[in-house]
Amino acid sequence: MQFYQSNLLNNFSNITHVFTLRESGNLAFHVNDNILHVRANHDILAKELSYSLNSLIHMKQIHSDIVHIVNENDNFINPPTCDAIITDRLSTPLMVMVADCSPILFYDDKQRVIAVAHAGRAGAFKNIVKNVIYSFTDEFKSEVTNIHVSVGASIGSCCYEVGTEVYYEAKKLNLEYAIERKDNSFYLDISKILKKQFLACGIKKENIEISTECTKCNSDKYFSYRADSNTGRFAGVIELK
């Protein structure tokens, strides 16, 4: 199975993490793919990363700012409805699935807490990052300066054209800095928003890693909804050992 890892998170030996690729196969059950094929892709990934598939927590993602704390009811066949999940449990891999949105992996190496988040336009505009960081500090007593974040490939401002209504929404939220105007069209830079939100929360600059790869430009490598609306999902996964 094909995947890549974060240079930042590779510094920590007590976590396992990956970002999968298009060649890894579709990991989402809601995109009109054969369920048996999707399950087979999950089985292969679980074997590659040496975790029990039933212990994997993924999400029913709804473009919200909801953060879910993993509990005993969560498992592979009973995913929570949210767009971020957080835990300090060992041997409990967390997964976020995307196809242009930003997959974010978080790790506090002192309190040993992990999280994942799904941040598309809605998540970025709602500042899901702030809610995740609040969960670290409020629920797990993390210090923000100990949190490391890695953002996988997502659609870039080169390709993320948006309408005037999104421009005005961004302006209303003081996010106009993330809008580029080219030939009377508007293009949104989600990564720019996320970076500013990370820093505003107090995460150290050196603890932030954001991929510069555009999923639409590289739709042969990643699933991209903008390139092909009938497409699969790749994923970010992180687990405490």
Strand partners, 68: 85
Give buried/exposed letters for 55-87 (b at 16+ CB in 10 A, else e).
bbbbbebeebbbbbbbeeebbbeebbebbbbbb
What is the CATH classification number for the domain harbouring 22? 3.60.140.10
Q: What pLDDT is stored for residue 77 in this prediction? A: 95
d(CA 215, CA 19): 13
pLDDT over 90 (residue 2): no
Pairing of strands 67-69, 84-87: parallel
pLDDT over 90 (residue 199): yes
Q: What pLDDT is stored for residue 201 in this prediction? A: 98
Average pLDDT, the chain: 97
- Which residues, at least 6 apart from 53, have a Cβ–Cβ distance to it below 8 Å? 42, 43, 46, 76
Q: What is the mean pLDDT of residues 103-124?
A: 98
d(CA 50, CA 220): 27
Q: Is 91 left (phi over 0), alpha (psi -120 to 50) or beta?
A: left
Number of domains forming the structure of the chain: 1
- Can you give the pTM of this predicted structure? 0.97
Domain coverage including residue 67: 3-240
112 closest CA partner among 60, 70, 148: 148
Q: What pLDDT is stored for residue 209 in this prediction? A: 98
Q: What is the mean pLDDT of residues 219-237?
A: 95
Q: What pLDDT is stored for residue 117 in this prediction? A: 98
Q: What pLDDT is stored for residue 229 in this prediction? A: 84
Q: Quickly state the pLDDT bin for 121 (edges 50, 70, 90).
A: very high
Q: What pLDDT is stored for residue 11 in this prediction? A: 96
Q: Quickly state the pLDDT bin for 1 (edges 50, 70, 90).
A: confident
Helix (H, G, I), strand (E, B) or coil at 41: helix
